[in-house]
Each structure stands twice: as C-alpha cells, then as structure tokens.
Amino acid sequence: MTSETRVASVEELETGFQRELGTDRWAAAETAYALAVRHRDGGNWDQSREWVQQCLRLLEGFPSETVEQVATKRLSVGGVQLPTYLHDGVVKNRFGDIV
C-alpha cells in the first residue's frame, strides 16, 4: 500500500483498501479505519460514517477474545495513526455519534 509515514491521499487509501480486501481483510479493516479518520477530520461525516461501518463489518469476521487477536499490525496507514487495538468497542468509542 503506501508508506506508513507518508500522508496518502484518500484516493490512494481507497485503492489500497480495494486491493487489501481481496488479499488481507485485517489490513483492509485497518485501512477502512484510516479512511474513516481522514473523512471525519475533513468534515465529511457521511463518508466517515460509511468507512466506520465498513470497518465494523470487516471486524465482525475476526475473533476478539484476546489482546493479540485485536492488536493492529501497523502503526499507521497512509499517515493516519492506528489505535494499538482495533475492535468494535474502540471504533465506536473513537467515532461516537457518527457510528
């Protein structure tokens, strides 16, 4: 995808998401989270909500009983810092009312 430290465009993130969706669903969930953050920070609430929902749908397919199962694999995606752990509770907490 993109460098973990370089700020990627939304288009680059979306392209990476599509590629990851077919090869690495966990990476796709991380990228969906990053896209939700980018859209939220840009004031695009509808797009942010769509990416939050996409992230949550992807996370449903993963176990979440242990810390190891929900630990993110990357520190950031396209310049967006990821939380240490990614599960529905974290996503809902970070996005609050737009979920």
This prediction's pTM: 0.92
Amino acid 45 reads W
pLDDT on residue 98:
75
Rounded distance between C-alpha atoms, residue 95 and residue 1, angstroms: 24
3-state secondary structure of 85: strand
**In the block, which residue shows the tokens 């310049």?**
79
What are the residue ranges spanned by the domains of the chain?
A: 10-98
pLDDT digits (tens, 9 = 90+) for 25-81: 999 999 999 999 999 999 999 999 999 999 999 999 999 999 999 999 999 999 999
Rounded distance between C-alpha atoms, residue 60 and residue 7, angstroms: 28
Going by C-alpha positions, the residue among 23, 31, 25 that lies closest to residue 2 is 31
| Helical (H) or strand (E) element with 25 | helix 25-41
pLDDT on residue 71:
98
Of 4 and 14, the structure prediction assigns the larger pLDDT to: 14
